[in-house]
Amino acid sequence: MPRKLRSRPLTDNPQLLGLLLTLPALMAILAVVLIPIVSSFWLSLHQKDLSRPQYDAFIALKNYLTLLRDSRYLNSLWVTFRFSLTSVIMEVILGVSIALVLNQRFVGRGFVRGLMILPWAMPSIVNAAMWKWIYNADYGALNALLTQLHIIEGYRVWLADPTWATILIILANVWKETPFTVILVLAALQAIPEDLYEAARVDGASAWRSFWHITLPLISPVLMVASMLQFIWGFQTFELVYVTTGGGPFSTTELTTLRVYATTFRSLRFGYGAAMAYLTSLVILIPAVFYIRSAYRRVVEM
């Protein structure tokens, strides 16, 4: 009699088993991420204006070409780039400095390390409301402190001044985002062997030379990751500016997220707003590609 053929169990084919196990997650990603991305890109190729639905039409890349001549959008792009770059520089400098202090041994070190995470863990809208209260012209803590210290003679409307408004929202963003850099750098510092520092001390190296030739090269990959993430998050900042300045005065603090929001949900120009969001994402992608290439080069050289 012919022998019965037994079906092979799934465990004999690890590729098929892995595909089946990840299929639910892939379907969820497809439904939640990929489909909205494709549909919003398709929307960006249309003139979709809810205030004038009779003019809706497929216009291909016309929205993108119009954006390249949109002075207000280009200004928001420059404001966002300046905001993100300045924030990243300050966050890296402060993050490394604070991490070096927290890496030392002192009483209450664990408690202080725990406190460092609080600003970053605070919801963005709560952080924005707190800084709006601090900067308030009538009863803000900043005016009260500077007046009591006799630095200023009377209360000032800080957020009505274009220069001060830009500086103050950057400081508020740095206060919230710096702990993330501190945590990453602190973890990298703890992974550095103590033998390297002992050898440097035996050779007569100063603390600065040890930092420059040992600490900085070994934490540079972490700094690169932190800088890139902070730069991208800077382009995603919305609540802080929306609550504190609303993009003013004179659009000096209008980030691209605020411009996209105003175009899409206030002016109801959904097609143009979608194109604006995609063009901004392309701008963010450029430094991200540079980072990936640099990281890959480091891995190849190791």
Look at residue 34 in the predicted model and tell me its pLDDT: 85
Whole-angstrom distance, CA of residue 182 vs CA of residue 193: 19
pLDDT for the residue 302: 53
Q: What is the pLDDT of residue 60?
A: 86
Please give the domain boundaries of the chain with CATH numbers for all domains. 58-301 (1.10.3720.10)
Q: What is the pLDDT of residue 239?
A: 92
At 53 the pLDDT is 81
The span from the CA of 172 to the CA of 219, in Å, is: 26
- The β-bridge partners of 269 are 49
| CA distances from residue 151 to 132, 155, 158 in whole angstroms, order as listed | 21, 11, 14
Phi/psi at 4 (5° precision): -75, 135
For position 1, what pLDDT does the model report?
46
3-state helix, strand, coil in the chain (%, to 5): 75, 0, 25
From 198, 189, 173, select the one nearest 85 (Cα to Cα): 173
User: How high is the mean pLDDT in each 10-residue block of the chain (302 residues)?
Assistant: 53 75 86 86 89 84 91 93 94 93 85 86 91 90 90 87 92 94 91 85 84 86 88 91 89 92 91 92 83 66 56
Residue 64: name the closest of 240, 269, 279, 211 by CA. Answer: 279
Cα distances from 161 to residues 12, 116, 139, 184, 227, in angstroms, run: 69, 31, 18, 35, 29
